[in-house]
Chain A
Amino acid sequence: MQQFANPTRFLSLANGALPYIWAVTLILFAIGLYGALVTAPPDYQQGETVRIMFVHVPAAWLAMLVYTVMALASAVAIIFRHPLADVAAKTAAPIGAVFCFLALATGSLWGKPMWGAWWVWDARLTSMFVLFLLYVGYIAIWQAIEETGRAAMIARIVAIVGFINIPIIKFSVDWWNSLHQPASVFRMGGPTIAISMLWPLLVMGLAYTFLFLALHLISIRSEITTRKLRNLQIARSENR
């Protein structure tokens, strides 16, 4: 029963916090979208197309943040054997995969009018694509292994190996890119960004983060419920 003590306390905490998190998410999205679609000026080079940035960049940030959360949770699971850590890592993955897909798709929609192509093998796009593959592999491991305990152990390794690999991929793809084409061609926006564009971007980033937080908490809750049900079913069939 001690194993359930922790999830139970977590559940009551999560259930108490969720309404506030949803409220903050809604407010942030309202402000962020207003800033993105109304107050932010069109870019002098890219015109209105620059507004894609406000949904593209936060999705890309979140795709990276969620993978970091996954890897950290997996490390916690290995080191402290905390029962919730595996659940947190498992439930984060599909959300992160959706963010990663959105980053790729909106990036493609941004690339077509800007570069004239839906896809270019630019350093960022390539590493983002590889990140998406890492998500797919991680989710596939949970799907492929039926026994939960074993799947958790394998998934931890996949998450952590992938996490070590991400900076190496980033570095290598940068190297590869500089070898093949001048990097400046594909630099978007430039390093400086006007305040009028920066604040909607940051607010949208926060809104996405809070959305992730809310979805993650709910997913953890359903995973705990599912596991509890399974344990009860097993216990009952053993009693018979």
Chain B
Amino acid sequence: MDWNANHSAFVIASYAMSVLFLAGLIIYTFTRDARARKRLAQFEKTKT
């Protein structure tokens, strides 16, 4: 990869965008999963 080539900004931008969105999706998926499991565990703990 020649970083000084014409239009290399577009290449960087597209890779950055893909990484950003996929990372966001991964983080979102993990936090949602963790939150769901935490809520369930809390609910089961407060069993009366």
Given contacts A59-B18, A102-B17, A215-B29, contact A51 B36 (CB under 8 A): no
Which residues on A are within 8 Å of B, measured CB to CB? 37-38, 42, 47-49, 51-52, 55-56, 59, 94-95, 98, 101-102, 105-106, 109-110, 112-113, 211, 215, 218-219, 221-223, 225-226, 228-229, 232-233
Q: Which residues on the B side are within 8 Å of A106 (C-beta)? A: 14, 17-18
Known contacts A109-B13, A229-B43: A47-B7 contact under CB 8 Å: yes
Question: A219–B4 Cα gap in the complex (Å)?
Answer: 41
CB neighbours (8 Å) of A38 from chain B are 1
Distance in angstroms between the alpha carbons of A229 and B42 in the assembled complex: 10
A196 to B40, CA, bound (A): 50
Name B's A-contacting residues (CB within 8 A).
Answer: 1-2, 5-8, 10-11, 13-15, 17-18, 21-22, 25-26, 29-30, 32-33, 35-37, 39-40, 43-44
Give 17 new A-B contacts, CB below 8 A, not counting A42-B5, A109-B10, A215-B29.
A38-B1, A48-B1, A48-B2, A51-B15, A52-B10, A52-B14, A55-B15, A94-B25, A95-B25, A98-B21, A105-B14, A106-B14, A110-B14, A113-B10, A218-B30, A232-B43, A233-B43
Query: Cβ of B43: which chain A residues have Cβ within 8 Å of it?
Result: 229, 232-233
16 contacts between A and B (CB under 8 A): A42-B2, A47-B7, A48-B1, A49-B10, A51-B1, A52-B10, A52-B11, A98-B21, A106-B18, A215-B25, A215-B26, A218-B33, A222-B32, A225-B39, A229-B36, A233-B43
